[in-house]
């Protein structure tokens, strides 16, 4: 595996200059995610109205993988209904777990497909999944 498969321009840009790394006013819910072994630590804030994810932002610190995965997840989920978002998250988790994912489903992930090679770096899988698993939990609570 080449280094560039993981640390691509897209990943590095999102990790260093994410447009979603900010505070948003009046979030409807916030959630904290943490990988105790490596210190990745993020807080996600959501504005969810009538079952639609209107806006999301994050703060916190972590490695390039966890920061960019968080940013790209937000980019993918904004504008989606909770149901659509839950489906996308499940597809992403399946992709990282190397489960069979159809072409159509992959398309729904858009830029997030870039993390498919992270399974070649097993030590970093939890960094890529942190935001997604954290969001999955909070969306389940919204139903």
Would you tell me which residues interact with other proteins (CB under 8 A)? 1, 3, 6-7, 12-13, 15-16, 37-39, 41, 61-65, 121, 123-124, 127
For residues 61 and 81, which CB has a smaller minimum distance to other proteins in the complex?
Answer: 61
Q: What sign does the dihedral 77-33-126-14 (CA atoms) show?
A: positive
Shortest approach of other proteins to residue 58 CB, angstroms?
16
Partners of residue 49 on adjacent β-strands? 52
For residues 5 and 75, which CB has a smaller minimum distance to other proteins in the complex?
Answer: 5
Shortest approach of other proteins to residue 123 CB, angstroms?
7
Number of other CB atoms surrounding residue 23 within 10 Å: 10
For residues 6 and 95, which CB has a smaller minimum distance to other proteins in the complex?
Answer: 6
For residues 17 and 102, which CB has a smaller minimum distance to other proteins in the complex?
Answer: 17
For residues 14 and 74, which CB has a smaller minimum distance to other proteins in the complex?
Answer: 14
Shortest approach of other proteins to residue 136 CB, angstroms?
22
Token output for 113: 């497909």
Burial of 1 (0-12, 13-18, 19+ CB in 10 A): exposed
Shortest approach of other proteins to residue 16 CB, angstroms?
5
Number of other CB atoms surrounding residue 22 within 10 Å: 10
| Structural contact between residues 36 and 100, judged by C-beta atoms closer than 8 angstroms | no
Partners of residue 140 on adjacent β-strands? none
Shortest approach of other proteins to residue 97 CB, angstroms?
19
């Amino acid at each position: 595996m080449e280094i560039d498969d993981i640390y691509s321009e897209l990943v590095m840009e999102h990790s260093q200059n994410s447009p979603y790394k900010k505070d948003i006013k009046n979030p409807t819910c916030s959630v904290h995610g943490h990988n105790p072994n490596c210190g990745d630590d993020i807080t996600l804030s959501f504005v969810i109205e009538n079952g639609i994810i209107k806006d999301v932002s994050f703060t916190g610190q972590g490695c390039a993988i966890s920061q960019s995965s968080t940013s790209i997840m937000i980019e993918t989920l904004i504008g989606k209904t909770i149901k659509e978002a839950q489906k996308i998250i499940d597809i992403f988790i399946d992709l990282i777990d190397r489960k069979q994912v159809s072409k159509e489903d992959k398309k729904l992930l858009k830029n997030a497909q870039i993390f498919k090679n992270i399974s070649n770096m097993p030590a970093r899988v939890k960094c890529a999944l942190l935001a997604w698993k954290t969001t999955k939990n909070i969306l389940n609570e919204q139903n």
